[in-house]
Structure 1
Amino acid sequence: MCGRFALLAKADLMREFLNVLNIGDTPERYNIAPTQPILIVIAGERQEPGSNLPERKAMLVRWGFMPGWVKDPRDFPLLINARAETAIGKASFKAAMRHRRILVPASGFFEWRRPEEKGAKAQAYWIRPKKGEIVAFAGLMETWSSADGSEVDTGAILTTAANNDISRVHDRMPVVIRPEDFSRWLDCKTQEPRDVVDLMKPIDDGFFEAIPVSDKVGKVANMGPDILEPVEERAEEALPEKKKGAQAPPLSDQLSLF
């Protein structure tokens, strides 16, 4: 799963990378957690004047997907991730896969590896691209309407099986969309879900690097750059050749928009 990520890139870099004009100055966010607002990119309705590129728009959504048919969010689980292998056919995500695919810009994400030893402490990792300052995760969005007519835009990050690098830490990783595939992923008018299945695969080995960090990231109140500082792994916590995935810390300390 992907339960924490960071977005540190400056607005001008994001505008250039995503071809989005309406991204203003944004604060560096080191510990983005479920239920918090996240920046996403959607396809626009027209092309920018004088440009061959389709217009794209940036907006904020709540990280925690809510299908439109849910009546009471208190009775529905928090969907921060959607499995790429099943999203096309799953009731919760089927409509969004067809009509509301998004990009989620990030500077990297956090994952935890739990040792085999019972009671051993999980090791957190900051997983970032080896080259460049920003990536785009595949995501889905839905606007949920309450009985009183109020609306909340919500989103989830698509995950896939981890590549060989990340599988040493966890068995899942976010789906990364490359810049040359942004338009196809966002084009929900001509590109049906079956047409973009090839994009929902693990990114190539060597794309990310995993840096051990302290467990500060597990607490949502810790939002400073110090959570990215590398730590030395204890010998018993050195990465094994193969490792089953571990869950991130519980989300009981998260904020809620409902």
Structure 2
Amino acid sequence: MCGRFVNNVAIDVQAERWRAIARVAAWRPTHNAAPTQNHPIVVQDRVGRTLELATWGWVRDFSGSTLLVNARGEETHAKSTFRDALSHRRCVVPATAFYEWTEPAHGRVPWAFALRDRAPFAIAGLWEDAGGQRSFLLLTVPANAVVSPVHHRMACIVPSAHTDAWLDPATPMPEVRTLLAPYPEAPMEAWRVSTRVNAVANDAPGLLTPVPDTTGRQQSLFMP
């Protein structure tokens, strides 16, 4: 799953990047975005494209204790929970990196994943309105060669050339489904980060600082 991400870009830069009208009041860039928090998403309807805040996680019981923060992108068309949103309520979630952790056998070590040029990118998402609150979840796909040594799933990054198609409600479903694919590995890189990322309360630029791997695990994970 993708349970944390980074969005350290100012709202006006995000709005320009995705050609959206910003409707964001109070929000600050984050280096450790987590479920239940409010974060910017880009949505599009007949009127136009907007950048607005939404809560990360779809609530799925009356107590509010069950959250859906991710969905497997390649399965959403076949599941009633997501089918309508996939057809009519797609969004992108601006990010500059996301985190994944090694499987328990590797000691739950956090890793950051980003584009080599550190440019912002769009994570595919779905949104809904429930109880007067707009919320979103992130879509995941099978991991590419950069992410797979750490985790078998990765955030579904929508290539810049296909963002318009993903956001447009009129895009035919067969085309939408082709966009739910692993991002090419060549423009991406990964590095180990501090376990301070594990605590949601920690949110500072230093979380992205590479941590030396004294165990040799990095070499074994990413050795060709």
Identity percentage of aligned residues: 31
Size of the aligned set, in residue pairs, is 222
| Aligned twin of 2:125 | 139
Taking the TM superposition and a 5 Å limit, the aligned residue runs for 1:211-226 are 211-226=191-206
Select 2:137's aligned residue among 143, 156, 167. 156
RMSD value, Cα: 2.1
Question: When you count helix as a share of all residues, which structure comes out higher?
Answer: 2
> Which string of whole-angstrom CA distances, capped at 9 and with x for unpartnered residues, describes residues 165-187 of structure 1?
11011110111112221221111
Q: What secondary structure, in the 3-state scheme, does the structure 1 residue paired with 2:81 have?
A: coil
CA distance in 2, matches of 1:167, 1:38: 27
Taking the TM superposition and a 5 Å limit, the aligned residue runs for 1:83-98 are 83-98=72-87
**Aligned-pair CA distance for 1:239:** 4.9
> Which string of whole-angstrom CA distances, capped at 9 and with x for unpartnered residues, describes residues 69-88 of structure 1?
x561546x311101011111
Q: Please list every run of 5 or more consecutive structure 1 residues that lacks an aligned counterpart in the other structure.
A: 47-54, 146-150, 243-258
| Aligned twin of 1:129 | 115
**Aligned-pair CA distance for 1:194:** 2.6
| Aligned twin of 1:45 | 46
User: Does the C-alpha gap of structure 1 residues 71 and 173 become closer, same or farther in structure 2, counting only changes over 3 Å?
Assistant: closer
| Aligned twin of 1:252 | none
CA distance in 1, matches of 2:38, 2:173: 26
**Aligned-pair CA distance for 1:24:** 5.7
User: Does the C-alpha gap of structure 1 residues 94 and 172 become closer, same or farther in structure 2, counting only changes over 3 Å?
Assistant: same
Taking the TM superposition and a 5 Å limit, the aligned residue runs for 1:1-258 are 1-22=1-22, 26-46=27-47, 55-66=48-59, 72-74=62-64, 77-114=66-103, 116=105, 121-145=107-131, 151-188=132-169, 190-241=170-221
> Which string of whole-angstrom CA distances, capped at 9 and with x for unpartnered residues, describes residues 135-154 of structure 1?
00000001112xxxxx1111
CA distance in 1, matches of 2:188, 2:219: 15
TM-score, normalised relative to structure 1: 0.79
Contact 2:35 2:69 in 1 (8 A): yes
TM-score, normalised relative to structure 2: 0.91
User: Does the C-alpha gap of structure 1 residues 35 and 124 become closer, same or farther in structure 2, counting only changes over 3 Å?
Assistant: same
CA distance in 2, matches of 1:79, 1:87: 13
